[in-house]
Structures are given as structure tokens and as C-alpha cells.
Chains A and B, each alone.
Chain A
């Protein structure tokens, strides 16, 4: 094992060790110390991450580093062949970046938590749960980092479930509150629904690709596609449908993506995330904003090479729907954490959408920038909630900027980042300005320029990739790189490719297999890009600006250093992540991580040699993704933020008046009801599809609220009750009892001749004898 592998493993194990320490002796360690123990663990991880990151960035032969050694966990038997499930460290640019991001954000949040949980963890019965919180956090940290370094889809799944468990435990941390435990359960079960698909994908990978290793699986997939063997030649019967060839491959891709849908809370499994805000705020920041929910995007990035165009399109559609509906719901939320939750959902939608349109580096870039600023905002909201004594309703806040200056301004940075504040053309901007807009740029390419680019070559373009092209790493990766604005590119640094993409039949061939995306899938994200700044600014303004609306809340508000210091770190992280380091590395990682035979990764920008330097600015003036979109989205933030300020500058009155406008009122109601997803899940499963319409009207009734908890908790229970109580007692037992009773009945019957009267005995005896004799005669004569 190389040093970096060891470092990564150490970074994973350190929190686990702290988990064990806290689990066994946590209650003896006491209140603040146990928090610091956990911080120590995550600091070790951060150290490891930094070590690996610096080493990685300075390494020249990255391919050598990527070859890591594995350890056979178990050895499966597949069609008579041994197939080990290997635990191996995945060491590539993506892992390194994600690892670093996660440890950095975690460190901040851990530290913040010590301050935050001091006031939130004392429980009834004199039981202090402070250490338990850090115990769970450490376990989460372990699982999340484990997930990042897994090179096998199987272990991805293992850690995937573990982070789910931690999420469950942490959402339900205040489990004495009904809503918290409900939310925890809802989260876990919804995730399980997604994992069901994941498992299906896993099984397909197992049987057809015959390996769980990501790289090997990708290679096999590619090979099978080229020879039209394996999964492409299979024809299987699933639940009565015959699925074969490309469709099966698509099914595999969608199956794996189902996992991501659960974890990253994509439509239609998004319902758990807003409820997950029942957990302590640092948890929301860490798990439900920065890291775990992003794991879904990470998963898609990892299995990108196994996707087919149809699967990818499916991903894009799901992402597009999610980002739209959740952003709309975010507009009307009044709970500060709920706003952030829906905005998280929306941003995750952007990322998934990005993956779906092939914007691999852009989506991951957005993931990282989003992690920083969203974690920061969540912590900010935690600060507010803590300061306001557990008030989360923004209508009771207002004017907190004086009481909480650091929180206020760091939060504003977050708002700016998510809104994509920047100056088009000047290459000055924050977070989303680069990352989100790059996704949009790629979407634009896919929606408008795709056929122009490749269509012409689709017909004659060979489907096979020849060896001759293997010399060109960037192209072997199947990565399409272009600069925005319809100007194609170019001037790409790779000398071996001076000819550009047009002339490359291989690339064209691959690309031509992909659909042009419908135009609405470009325009919806654009519209939401206008909505986003609005609701974020609304949130900030309602909280920090204006006049205090609730004296008592305002009176108590305060900040504490343990809690605002991490905010500053994260604010710095937001700034750094927007410019430095991450984007070029991701672009480079894409070269390896996207070698897909069927789909292409579309790069919104061109990596520059100089960017390989740690401090090199990523955003090359000439390669600004906004070049083409400048008119469409470049100033979206101005419009959104402006409108928000316009409406909320004088308190809530104007907003209230608007809300009462006839049409708005209807929309508002719909959005307040979260577009009825919870209700729909409830009712669909309660009454069956034919009752859906009838039930939707009833859904207004407030008592049906609890979504997925009831999905299994009420509707299925009825089926279960039927099966458990009626079938078992009535059916099987009934049958057995009936047999028993009839046996007894027969017993009673055969006793009837025993009348006690000897004359009867003689008669029955004789009659019986005659019968037996008759039977004998019948047999003998026959």
C-alpha cells in the first residue's frame, strides 16, 4: 500500500476509533470533552486529507498513484468462477477533492456543534445525550469517508447504507419528539426504496459485468458493448417483462441511479429531506446539505461509465423536475431551515440534472461549492435558532443583523453564492455563478447545438473506437470539451488533437448516440435560476434585515465564538472553492472517470495547463461559460434579489397582500402543501390508484400529513393487517383448525355407532363385515 492509501484509510478509521471511544466511555468523558474527542478524530482525517491533496496536486505520475492494492473481503462464486469482492482504496482526483471537502466541512461543523449542542442536548431523566451526538457524528464521518474511498460498488453500497443509518440516528436525535422520530423513519424508509433500485442495479452488475470494481466494471461494460456480448446480448425476464440488450443496460443504470434518487432526495423520493430538518441543525448542515445528500451525485459520477443515453436522459429529467418543484416550494416556506432544505433539494436537482446532461465536472464542481456555502448557511441558521431560543419561524425574526453580525454577513455570502452573484464578462463571481451556470451552459449545448455539432457525423461515424485513438487520453475518456458560446473549441491543449471534434469520428459516434435534450429541460433550470436568488434573499432579508418582529426573540439573540468561527472558515471555503483548486482537478479527474462507451461527459470549460498549479485561477477569461448565456441568465441574480428586496424591504405586509391575490393564493396554497407529494404517497397507497382522485380532495384534511411514515405506516399496515390477522388467523390457522375440528368431528362421528346397545353392536359388526367382504369380493373378482 502506498502512503496515500494508508493516509486515506487512516482518515477513515480515525473517526471510527473516536466513535468506539465515545460509544463505550462517552458518558464518562463528559459534556464538552467528548465533543473535542470527536473533533480530534475529524482533525486527523482533515490532516490526512490535506496530506493526500497536496501530494496529489504535486504528483506527476498520477496513474501510478491510482493503482492501489486491494483486500479480498469475501470471495463469491459466480457461474463456477471465483469472484472476489475486494476492498480497495479508490484514489483519483474526484476522491481526493471530495475527501478534502468533506473533512474540511466536517471539521467546521464538528466544532460548531460543540457550541450548538451545549444548549441542545440535555434531556429528560438526567440523561445527557451530548456524547451520543458526537458518537453518531463520528460514525457518520467514518461512513462518509469510507464511501468516498470505496472502489467497489458493493462497498459503496455498504457505506451508503451506513450513512443512511447515521442520518436516521441523527435526524431522530430528538427522538422524544414525535415529529423527529417520524422524520427519521421516513428518511430511512424512503432511502430504502431507492436502495431497492440500487440493489437491483448491483445484481445486474454482478451477473453481467461480473465484478463490483468500478474500473473493471467500466472496462467490461465497454468491452461488452464493443463485442455486443454480456449485458448487451442478454435477454432476461423480470416480473413478466422481457428486457434485453440496451434496455437492460439502461435498466442497470437507472437501478443504480435509484440509489442516488433516494440519497440525494430526487423527485419522487424527495419528500424525506425537508422533514429531516427535525434533526439538530449541525446535522442538517453536514449530512443534509454538504455531504450525504451529495453522495447521490457522487454515485452517479462514479457509475457514469455504466450509463446509457436513455439512462442518462432519465437522470436529467429527474434532476430537472426536482430542481423546479423544490425551488418553487422554497418560495413560500417560513421556517428558516425549511427554506434551506428546499434550496438544497433544488441545488441537488441542478447537480443531478448536470450529470444527466453530461456536465460531469460542472455538476461535481457545483457539488463542492454548494457544500461549502450551504453548510455555512445552515450553520448560520443554527446560530440564529440557537440565538433565538429554538425559534425557526422567520416571521418572528427580523433585524438580527445587529445582534449577529458575523452570522448575518457570512449568510449573505452564502446567499450570494447560491444566487450566482457575479459580473458576467468580468469573471468575478461566487459559487453558483461558475458552477451552476456551467451546468446551464452544457444544457444549452445539449438543447441547441448538439445536432449541429455531431449530427452530421452520426450516420457515418463509426461506433467502434479504434486503437489508433487510444493515444489521446482526453478523447479516450469520451469527454467532450468545448468552450461556450457556440465557438467550438479548439485550441485544446492536447496536441494530439489539433483537428478538433468535428473531425473525430469516434467522438462524434459516441456523442451522436446521445439525444438532444428537449428545450424545456434547458428553460426550466433557467427560470429556476431566477427564482433561487429570490427565495434566498427573501430568507436573508426576513431574518436579518428590517425591524425585529418579535421583541422577545430579538432580545435573546446572541452569538458565540465557538459557533461563528466555523462560519468564517466556511465562508473562506466558499470563496476558495469558487475559484481555486477544485474545478481544474475535477476536469482532470473527468478524463479517467468518464471513459464511457455510450455517453459523453461535456466539459463546459477548457482546462489550462497553468491551472494545474495549486493557486492558478480556474476561470479563464476566454472560457467563461456565460459567454453564450449572458443575456439569459447572467443577471438572473439581480432580478431575483431585487424582487425579494422590493417585496420584503418593509416587512411582511406587502408579501401578505400579494399572497392574497386570487391566482397567487391558489399557487401559494399548492406550494404550502408541498405540491401534495406527501398526500399523494399517502393516498395512492391507501386507496389504490382508482381512489386517487377521490382521495386528493380529502388530502386537504389536515390529519393526513405524515407522508412516507404513513406510506408504510398506515397504508401498508392495512395490507399487513389483512395478511397478518385475517390471512393467518383466518386462512392458514383456520385451515389447520378446520382440519383439527373436522378430525374431531370425524372422531365424534365414528363414535356414533358405539351406542352402548349390544344389539346395535352386533348389527354394525355384521354390516361392517358384509361391507368389507363386499369390498374384498369386488377386488378379488376384478
Chain B
């Protein structure tokens, strides 16, 4: 028994470790504060938002503090902040994403303030759900343990289900949240089932160990191969649901259309990015630990799914009449582009995998700006013409309110991915990462991406046509200043990030290069061989083999 206990990493938290955990704690504190605040200060939207901002600021403070620690001590020096007994990681990638989430939270809050706050009675609940899902997402990118992953995904998802149906009196909102919830529950269940099988095969839910054992287990032959594949795919399905990768994308358009636009903006970026970075982290772990054969199989699956995702996303967007639905499909397509980078799985020791992560990081940043801008304009336009989210509602916008139409144009063109907008440069990073991987599969993916770029032009331009090439009789209406400012900042940043993309790319490189790598960190060094030996042990093999033969 002592042996067993020795194997479970003991967790005796100290101050330093708490500090690395502080952003999450601050987040939880904020949640509690906002939940309790109505008792003291009432349900005023402004006050609540102010409170949320304070919480965000505090969280940001701690996040930067932790970043400082990580970057000085460095993840690869063995001082990696492993939390909760190795369940959580606070490395550059997760911290970077937290910063991004915070920034995005501010953006979404501003948007919410300018379009919804006035008619909203449930501000505290809104912020609780929003920040709650943010916390879940930040946990998603901070783990490579399947159990923690499941918990984090649920943590991110549950508030999301609720926030999609936040508009209680709207039929489509209720419908959307129900669909989202059911689909989410189903994929969670499947993921859990897959996780249980994986646990059976490898005796652990730590992906590092799984990755290093999968090769030998496979080499043992037999039906394991199929079952392991099935189990891993089930887990992958859970992540794919968050990314809304085909064929787990069905919830996405419906949920996005039914939800409030600012919520759509939030989900379209944050939850997908979290899922993607989680996938990237797992891919990275696999790269470091698994053998070439496994990598090839995994890469092909991801590549196929990525291809399907971007192609179907783009094609389905073609004839949409609702701009939110169209942008929802567009977000599916973009998830597909980013997923293509996750397919870059090459043998350990090469740098390509972190190039891919770097590309995705940069992409996520710009993608956030583009979607915030685009959905921001949609929300603003909707708010002044009675919730009409059809594309034709944009007719003549370019002449009536250029302050909205021009950032919208920037965002849309950037979404297509052509200069002079940052969407191009990040797409270029993706392609470069694929090119650097230098194999037929990745060149094919690159070609898939560029062809999809071409396909996507058509439906993005439909909006542009409405805005600038069509006339409309409806007079221009006032739009809230703060929202307008927000979308314009997004639009301008898109240009700035093209011209001065170095800072972005440098950071992306730095944070991805500093990705916590368990093998290097030494955590898995010991258990590695043991668990490997165990996996080869016939104890596990016998019943499973029987089972497979029976099935």
C-alpha cells in the first residue's frame, strides 16, 4: 500500500504553489463576489459589470504575476508548476490563454453593456455564467489529464448551456440551449465512456503516460488496436464537440443563432479556442512520447476531420440568410483551419509541433479580434433594428453608418484571410507550419485550406455586397458609442497586426516554445517504465482480448 501511495504524487500545497494557482482562485473569488453582491448592492447592470471588471483586473494581475514566475524560472527547468498532484499545469500556454480570455471577457462585457445591459434584469447571473465558463475554459487548457479534462470541459460547458438560453422568453433561445445541452451531454457521456476504456488499457488517465505506452501496447497486437482507437476517438469526440469539428458540429449553428449575439461571440471564440488548445496540448504530448506509427494514425484522423470541418463549414455557410448562422458556420470552418495545424504530429525532438502551436496561438488572437468585431457589429445592428439578424438587414450600412460597416468589412475580409488584414498573416503562419512539416499530408492540407479560403470569399462578400453595394431606405440610427469604439478598435488592430505582426508572433513563439512538456520535466520519467511494463502485462491483456473476441 505504501507503494501505491508513493505512486500517487503527494500534494502538499505551499504558498508558491498557491500563487501559481492564484488566477483560478481569483476567478472563483470573483464568481462568489458577483453571486453575493446583489444582496448588498442590488442587481444593477452597471454595478455588476463594474464588479466583474474588478474581478477580471485582479485575475489579470495574478495571471501576469504567474507569467513572470514561469518565464523567469522556465517550464523546462524542472520547476514547472504542477498543481493538484499533476492534474493542472500553469505554463506559458495556459497563462497566455488566460490573458486572452480576460481580454476577450472585457470585450464581450463592453459589447453586452452597450447592447443588452439596458434591458437586462439578470446581470449578476449573466456574469456568473460568463465568468464560470471562462474558468472552465482556462482549466481546459491547463491539463493533460483526461479526468481533469472531463471536469474542465463540463465546467466550461454547463454555464455555456445556460447562457445560450439566457433569454428565457425567447423560443429559439430555449430551443438552442436545449439542443446545445443535449448534444453536449451526449458527447460528454461518450467521452467519459471512452475515458473509462482508456483507463482500462493504460491504467492511468495521464495523457503523457498514455502516449508513451500506446506504442508498446499496440505493438502487442491483437484487437487492442481497434479498441484503443475507439476509446481514443471517443475522448477526441468530446474535444471535437467543443471545437465543433465535423461531425460534432451540429449544435453550433443552432446554439449560436439562438443565443444573444454577444454570447455567440464569446462561444465562437473562447470555447473553440479552449478546445483547440487542449487538442494542441495533447497533440504535443503525443509528439513527445508516442511512436511514429501512432502519430501517423492520429494525424490522419485529425487531418481528415479538419478537412471535413473547414470544407463543410464553408459550404454550409453559402446560402444562409441569418448572419449569425452564417458566422457560426464560418467559425466551424475556422476551427477546421486551426485543427489542420493540430494534425502536425511528427516525431519527438523536432520543433514542428511547437511551430504549429505558435501558429494556432497567433491565429486565435486574431480570430478573437475578427469575431469580436464581426459579432459586435451584428449585435449593434441587431439592437437597433429589432433583433433582425438577416443578412439583408445590413443593406446600405456602408453609407448609413460607415463606423460600423468599415470595421465589419475589415473583420470579414480578415476572416477570408487576405491582406492587408491580420487574418492573412495568421493564415500564413498556419500554412507555413504545414509547409515546414514537409510531407504530402500537410501540403495537401495546405491546399485544402487555400481552396477553402476561396470558397469562403463568396459568402463573406455577400455581407459586403449588402453593406456597400445595396441601397436601403431605412434611416441611420444611433448606435452606442462604446460598442462602436470596440468594433473599430478590433478593425484597426487587424491592420496593425498585419503591419506589425512581430510582437504577436514573437509572443506566440515564446509561449508555445515554453509549452510544458512532461517528458522533459521529468514527471513521467519514473512511472513511464513501470506503467509500460504493466501495460505489456498479460493481466490486462487477457480479459480484454477475450472481450474483443467475443465482440
Query: Does chain A touch chain B in the assembled complex, meaning CB atoms less than 8 Å apart?
Result: yes
A residues adjacent to B (C-beta < 8 A): 740, 743-744, 746-751, 753-754, 756, 758, 760-762, 764-765, 767-769, 771-773, 775-777, 779-781
> B300 near A: Cβ within 8 Å?
yes
Number of A-B contacts (CB under 8 A): 86
- Chain B residues closer than 8 Å to A776, beta-carbon distance: 229, 233, 297, 300-301, 304
Q: Which residues of B contact A743 (CB under 8 A)?
A: 315, 318, 455, 458
Does B521 have its Cβ within 8 Å of any Cβ on chain A? no
Inter-chain contact B316/A750, CB cutoff 8 Å: yes
**Residues of chain B lying within 8 A (CB to CB) of residue A760:** 250
Name B316-342 residues within 8 Å CB distance of A: 316-319
Q: Is the CB of A750 within 8 A of B315?
A: yes
A768 and B246 form a contact (CB under 8 A): yes
Majority secondary structure, B binding face: helix
Q: What 10 pairs across the A-B complex have the smallest Cβ distances? A: A768-B247, A747-B318, A761-B250, A747-B315, A780-B297, A776-B301, A750-B312, A758-B179, A750-B316, A751-B316
Q: Of B182, B250, B251, which one neighbours A753 at CB under 8 angstroms? A: B250
How many Å lie between the Cα of A83 and that of B353 in the bound state?
A: 58
Chain B residues in contact with chain A, CB under 8 A?
A: 178-179, 182-183, 186-187, 225-226, 229-230, 233, 237, 246-248, 250-251, 253-254, 293, 296-297, 300-301, 304-305, 308, 312, 314-319, 455, 458
Of A746, A762, A777, A780, the residue contacting B183 (CB under 8 A) is: A762
Instruction: Tell me whether A779 and B300 are in contact (CB under 8 A).
Output: yes
Minimum CB distance partner of B293 in chain A: A780
23 A-B residue pairings within 8 Å (CB atoms): A743-B458, A747-B316, A749-B315, A751-B319, A758-B182, A761-B179, A761-B250, A762-B182, A762-B183, A762-B186, A764-B247, A769-B248, A772-B233, A772-B304, A773-B229, A775-B304, A776-B297, A777-B226, A777-B229, A780-B229, A780-B297, A780-B300, A781-B225
Q: How far is the CA of A744 from the CA of B317 in the complex (A)?
A: 9
A383 to chain B, nearest CB (A): 66
Contacts of B229 in A (CB 8 A): 773, 776-777, 780
Residues of B within 8 Å of A769, CB to CB, are 233, 237, 247-248
Known contacts A743-B455, A780-B229; is-contact A765 B250 (Cβ 8 Å)? yes
CB distance from B291 to the nearest CB of A (A): 12
- A754 partner, pick from B182, B186, B253, B296, beta carbons under 8 A: B253
- Determine if A767 and B297 form an interchain contact, defined as CB atoms under 8 angstroms apart: no
Assess whether B250 is in contact with A772, with CB atoms less than 8 Å apart.
no
Residues in A whose Cβ lies below 8 Å from that of B186: 762, 765
Chain B positions within 8 Å of A771 at CB level: 247
Q: How near does chain A come to B154, taking the closest CB pair, in angstroms?
A: 18
A745 to chain B, nearest CB (A): 9
Find chain A residues with CB under 8 A from B183 CB: 758, 761-762, 765
How far, in angstroms, from A343 to B83 measured CA to CA in the complex?
Answer: 110
Q: Are A767 and B455 in contact (CB under 8 A)?
A: no
A-chain residues with CB within 8 Å of residue B179 when the two chains form the complex: 758, 761
Instruction: Determine how close the nearest CB of chain A comes to the CB of B527; give it in whole angstroms.
Output: 26
B454 CB, min distance to chain A CBs, angstroms: 10
* B300 contacts across to A, CB distance below 8 A: 775-776, 779-780
| Contact residues in A for B248 (Cβ distance below 8 Å) | 765, 768-769
Residues from chain A with a CB closer than 8 A to the CB of B318 are 743-744, 747-748
Query: Hey, which chain A residues are within 8 Å of B233, CB to CB?
Result: 769, 772-773, 776
Least distance between B160 CB and chain A CB atoms (Å): 16
- Chain B residue, CB-CB nearest to A761: B250
User: Bound state CA distance, A754 and B317, in angstroms?
Assistant: 12
Q: Are A765 and B297 touching (Cβ within 8 A)?
A: no
Chain A residues whose C-beta falls within 8 Å of the C-beta of B304 in the assembled complex: 772, 775-776
Q: Is the CB of A779 within 8 A of B297?
A: yes
- Residues on B with beta carbons closer than 8 Å to the beta carbon of A744: 318-319
Nearest CB in chain A to that of B298: its residue: A776
Instruction: Please determine whether A747 and B250 come into contact, CB atoms closer than 8 angstroms.
Output: no
Q: How far is the CA of A768 from the CA of B233 in the complex (A)?
A: 12
CA distance A392 to B248 in the complex (A): 90
Residues in A whose Cβ lies below 8 Å from that of B251: 761
**Could you tell me if A767 and B301 are in contact, using CB atoms closer than 8 angstroms?**
no
Q: In the complex, what's the smallest C-beta–C-beta distance from B275 to chain A, in angstroms?
A: 15
Which residues on B sit within 8 Å (CB–CB) of A747? 314-319
7 more A-B contacts (CB under 8 A) besides A743-B458, A776-B300? A743-B455, A744-B318, A751-B316, A765-B248, A775-B304, A776-B233, A780-B300
Chain B: minimal CB distance from A178 (Å): 43
A residues in contact with B301, CB < 8 Å: 772, 775-776
With A754-B253, A758-B178 as given contacts, are A772 and B316 in contact (CB-CB < 8 Å)?
no
Distance in angstroms between the alpha carbons of A756 and B186 in the assembled complex: 17
Task: Please measure, in the bound complex, the distance between the C-alpha atom of A772 and the C-alpha atom of B319, giving whole angstroms.
Answer: 26
* Bound Cα distance from A750 to B455, whole angstroms: 14
Interface contact B225-A780, CB-CB below 8 Å: yes
Give the complex CA separation of A194 and B318 in angstroms. Answer: 55
Q: How far is the CA of A740 from the CA of B454 in the complex (A)?
A: 11
Q: How far is the CB of A129 from chain B (nearest CB, A)?
A: 47
Residue of B nearest to A759 (CB): B182
Would you call A773 and B230 a contact (CB within 8 A)?
yes
Contacts of A750 in B (CB 8 A): 312, 315-316
The residue on A at minimum CB distance from B183 is: A761
A748 CA to B318 CA in the complex, in Å? 8
A772 proximity list for chain B (CB < 8 A):
233, 247, 301, 304-305, 308
Kindly provide the distance from the CB of B236 to the nearest chain A CB, expressed in whole angstroms.
9
Q: Closest A-chain residue to B454, C-beta based?
A: A743
What are the residues of chain A within 8 A of B296 when measuring CB–CB?
780
Residues of A within 8 A of B293 (CB): 780
